[in-house]
Amino acid sequence: MITILKADYKKYNVSELEKLRIDEEKFYENFDDAILLQTCNRVEMIFDAEKYKNIKELEKIGINLDKFEIISGEKAIEHLFRVASGLESMIVGEDQILGQLKNSYLKAKEKGKLSKRLEKIILKAIHTGQRARLETKINEGGVSIGSASVELAERVFGLDGKNVLLIGAGEMANLVIKALKEKNIKAIIVANRTYEKAERLAKELGGMAIKFDKLEEALRYADIVISATGAPHPILNKERLKNAGKTVIIDIANPRDTTDDIRELPDVFLFTIDDLKLVAEENLKKRMEEVPKVEMIICEELEQLKELLDRMEFENAVRELGQYIENIRKKELEKAKNILKNKNKPVEDVLDDFSKSLCKKIIYDIITIFENLDNKEMFNTLASEFKKLKQQKSKNKT
């Protein structure tokens, strides 16, 4: 199983989580059979619990254990599956966490830090996250103001082949960028009072920047306008948009960038942050309705993983047993060879002694093991199964 040390947005804000971040190189230099997952909303250390048990050693690299919640066993695996599926994200169902988990897995694998068991668990978590998004609608519909603005524009007007004007280059504008990047837009224009900021943003989007004095010209060119400035007063009104033609205006600024008289223009459709909140809330409600379906997928995948891990454990036990018997066989064979070299006994007698000694040593060790077990029923079960096997082989001979 695994052990996870976690700190996330449920307990800490972004700046507090930033202080809990761990130096990746230092982490992997000190620990094997582990994966480090770090995002803006979480810091999680995932360990193979069988391979690594001394959590206190984390303090050697400056990690304050009091800041982290520790979960182990099946609860830890379930948590990891929920993380991969987006159920533990601040925005339920978001896709980014799945890519972040994949990247963390690849880094740990590249550094040779994965046990076979831990790798199986992580890959199963990634598969579970993929199933959740393919088989349910947990990630559909924008639930942030930025993504909701793009969704609303797409719903009302369509985005394919459209010209988009983004006014502003601050935090809200950056939220819009994440959603716009996935769309098939013809052209993006970025306008901002500080031209250098507009240039940086336009470069990131593969668009073009304009100075603020060219705004009215850009408004006539744009099909969709998303306004997200930090201006203290409106920058768009009926007069400024009277020659804009058919246009969708989405105002996500606070305070608003638009005036209500814009709604009087027959070809201009205005949506404000209040409209977007309704869209975001509606989408979040739809996502929450999908949570039980995702939890069913997680249950299915947990059962499959348990069977896989049990099989791995059994195969490991068989390998260990095989190695143990092989070591005894080699020792007894060496004794038999020495006796044959000295020619003290006939070959038949040497082989007979070799086989008896091999069996006695194996049986003696097995009895010793079972004498030390609290559960004596296991020995009786084993004896019963050997008896059945013997009877079966006797039938096969006849």
Cα angle: 313, vertex 308, 1; to 5 degrees: 60
**Is 42 marked as a binding-site residue?**
yes
Other Cβ atoms closer than 10 A to 68: 20
Q: Measured between alpha carbons, how far is residue 39 from residues 21, 42, 320 in Å?
A: 9, 5, 40
**Is 218 marked as a binding-site residue?**
no
**Is 95 marked as a binding-site residue?**
yes
**Is 170 marked as a binding-site residue?**
yes
In 3D space, the residue among 126, 134, 128 whose CA is nearest the CA of residue 101 turns out to be 126
Amino acid letter, residue 251: D
**Is 171 marked as a binding-site residue?**
yes
Task: Mark whether 299 is an active-site residue.
Answer: no
**Is 359 marked as a binding-site residue?**
no
For the sheet with 2-8, list strands across it.
Answer: 34-39, 42-48, 2-8, 69-72
CB neighbours of 264 closer than 8 A, spacing ≥ 6? 238
**Is 168 marked as a binding-site residue?**
yes
Beta bridge partners of 166: 190, 226
**Is 251 marked as a binding-site residue?**
no
Beta bridge partners of 48: 2
Do residues 142 and 69 touch, judged by C-beta distance below 8 A? no
CA dihedral 180→38→33→105, nearest 10 degrees, is 0
Rounded CA-CA distance 45/56 in Å is 13
**Is 299 marked as a binding-site residue?**
no
Rounded CA-CA distance 298/169 in Å is 40
**Is 375 marked as a binding-site residue?**
no
**Is 169 marked as a binding-site residue?**
yes
Q: How far is CA 275 from the centre of its chain?
A: 32
**Is 130 marked as a binding-site residue?**
no
**Is 208 marked as a binding-site residue?**
no
10, 21, 23, 40: the catalytic one is 40
In 3D space, the residue among 263, 248, 254, 208 whose CA is nearest the CA of residue 230 turns out to be 254
158: left (phi over 0), alpha (psi -120 to 50) or beta: left
Other Cβ atoms closer than 10 A to 361: 15
Give the residue numbers of the binding site. Answer: 39-42, 89, 94-96, 100, 168-173
Q: Which positions are annotated as active-site residues?
A: 40
Give the residue numbers of the binding site for substrate. Answer: 39-42, 89, 94-96, 100
Give the residue numbers of the binding site for NADP(+). Answer: 168-173
